[in-house]
Amino acid sequence: MELPDAGIVLITSASATAFFHAVVPDHWLPFVLVGKAQGWSKRKTLSFSALSATLHVVVSIVLGIIGYTIGIASASSIGEKMDSVIGIGLLLFGILYSAWGLKSQGGALHIGHSHGPHSHEDNLKGKKRNITGWGLAVIMGLNPCVVVLPVISATVAKGFIVMLLASAAFALTTIVLLVGLTSLGLLTSYKFKFEFLEKYGEVLSGIILSLTGIAFLM
């Protein structure tokens, strides 16, 4: 089946939009910072990044299809409102994360008593790391790419095959780039070790997450 020229343009546009959208640091840098501060393995950090990227893609595509039905202006308005919700979520998440980091550094987090090689505190910290990862992945992932909505909406009118190929191009570019940039950020961070950053990494990560949230709200 030969694709129409308009279909090829839309597929290329979806991939290009994904590229320029994904390279923005606020989409992948939080995973590098939090993963480093939490001491996650590279695999775990990339897994959360991949989950976030997948959610991001699904929300964007679904909103784009909805845009074809109710109008792109209405869909964009929904996307902008979601941006505000995500911004508030990141702001609060960052504040709480920084507060927890300060509390840990202050020595306040000494709960329970030891039972051999593992303690209740270790279990609590382990659960906190998982909650942090899932929370960050969901908050970041639910943020749609508003600029791709007109492209996805336009593909619906060109037929299922064009919509499918454009969505696949957008998804593949987004996920590969976000996970790849997260991996690159981790590799770079491992080469530089600073005592201050290792000690207050959680606090600084929380501040950056809060600033990212403020950026979403602006």
Taking all residues of the chain, what is their mean pLDDT, rounded to a whole number? 76
In angstroms, rounded to a whole number, what is the distance separating the alpha carbons of residues 164 and 2?
15
How far apart, in whole angstroms, are the C-alpha atoms of residue 98 and residue 90? 12
- Bridge partners (DSSP) listed for residue 114: 119
The identity of residue 56, as a single letter, is: H
- List the chain domain ranges: 5-106+139-217
Tokens found for residue 73: 């202006």
Q: Judge whether 121 and 110 are in contact, CB under 8 Å.
A: yes
pTM for this prediction: 0.71
Q: Which amino acid belongs to residue 164?
A: L
What's the token pair of residue 217?
């709200």
Encoded tokens for 212? 């990212």
pLDDT digits (tens, 9 = 90+) for 113-147: 444 444 444 444 544 556 678 888 888 888 888 78
